[in-house]
Amino acid sequence: MPRIGPGELLLKVVASGICGTDVLEWYRLPKAPRVLGHEVTGDIVAVGDGVVRYQAGDRAFVSHHVPCNSCSYCLKGYHTACHTLRTTNFDPGGFAEYIRAPQINVERGVYLLPPDLSYEEGTFIEPLGCCLRGQRLANIQPGDCVLIIGSGISGLLHIRLARARGAGSIIATDIDEARLQSARRSGADEVIHATEDVPARVRQINDHRPADRVIICTGALPAIRQALRSVDNGGRALFFAVPEPGVEVSIPITDFWRREVTVLTSYGAAPDLEAALELLRTHQIKVADLITHRLSLRDIAYGFQLVAHPQNSLKVIIEPHH
């Protein structure tokens, strides 16, 4: 159990989601050894001197990365490029029984859970916040045709969020039939198996036009190539997921220049966590049905295998005290 100091708090972790990035070796191994886990909810069991907004017994979500809100990046709206954000974290990590939230996290990254929002649903605040930030940057408008490339948990959240934002039609792709069915249940109007000619099928579905917005939720190069060939004039392609370092992506820049296609990226959730919590609180986005596994810490290796090689799994939740 970590010791806390002034301005800090101690959280008993009740639920901690396994993120797709937790199992990306190229993303995590350079930082090893470390305790992973950043989609965390639990009970505040102790607060340090000077903490007045929270008290023992509060149910809360704690953000692992928080921006400074005062640097040039934050002031321009690029909070996830903030140097402070990339150095903040809780101790030791979400896959633990207890975590210590440093003072800066307490001041800028603690959100109380509404009474009718479960701990498990609360673990979606961070991943939904990431999707919300991405769609805000992609500037999805009511009536847009939105193509989601990859129907894992991020793709499914994007489908549900795009529907809530008023997208006109939503098309989803994947190589796995079960995930395509999950995409339909999440609100996709049409699904395309990734082995098909995706750009041609999008045009067939969308009145002979490509998609207004394309959200890439996989780092697979064939899928990325499909995505870049599926963007309409004046459209936007969002890299929500990316290939591993060293893998280059070819952009048809002359074609995009002529057609004024925008390619953009999105990383992280700040400052969209509060809005994500509100979407969950008001049930505009429902997530309970996406949870397929609840495991104890002793079974975490199995949980990582489920996420790394998904078949019948979507969201895997670790419950440290079970």
Q: What is the pLDDT of residues 119-150, one digit of tens each?
A: 999 999 999 999 999 999 999 999 999 999 99
Domains identified in the chain and CATH numbers:
9-124+287-318 (3.90.180.10), 128-265 (3.40.50.720)
Q: What is the pLDDT of residue 311?
A: 79
Which three-class secondary structure state does DSSP give residue 106?
helix
Do 164 and 285 contact (CB within 8 A), yes or no? yes
pLDDT band at 312 (very low <50, low <70, confident <90, very high): confident
Q: What is the pLDDT of residue 28?
A: 87
Query: From residue 197, how far is each of 39, 46, 60, 242 by CA, in Å?
Result: 36, 56, 45, 21
Residue 46 in tokens: 């102790």
Q: What is the pLDDT of residue 46?
A: 98
Residue 107 in tokens: 């001041």
Question: Can you tell me the mean pLDDT for 22-51?
Answer: 94
Do 290 and 315 contact (CB within 8 A), yes or no? yes
Residue bearing the bigger pLDDT, 24 or 287: 287
Q: What's the mean pLDDT when you consider all of the chain?
A: 97
Q: What is the DSSP string of 4-48?
A: --TT-EEEEEEEEEPPGGGG-HHHHGGG-S-----EEEEEEEEE-
Per-residue pLDDT of 175-217, as tens digits, reads 999 999 999 999 999 999 999 999 999 999 999 999 999 999 9
Is 310's pLDDT higher than 90? no
Q: What is the pLDDT of residue 30?
A: 87
Which one, of 20, 14, 81, lies nearest residue 315 by Cα? 20
Q: What is the pLDDT of residue 31?
A: 84
Do 194 and 175 contact (CB within 8 A), yes or no? yes
Question: Can you tell me the mean pLDDT for 277-284?
Answer: 97
Instruction: Please tell me the total number of residues recorded for the chain in this structure.
Output: 322
* pTM of this structure: 0.97
Query: How much of the chain, in percent, has pLDDT values that exceed 90?
Result: 96
Query: From residue 221, how far is each of 195, 242, 257, 267, 319 by CA, in Å?
Result: 13, 9, 22, 19, 35
Question: Can you tell me the mean pLDDT for 295-312?
Answer: 93
Question: Can you tell me the mean pLDDT for 295-315?
Answer: 94
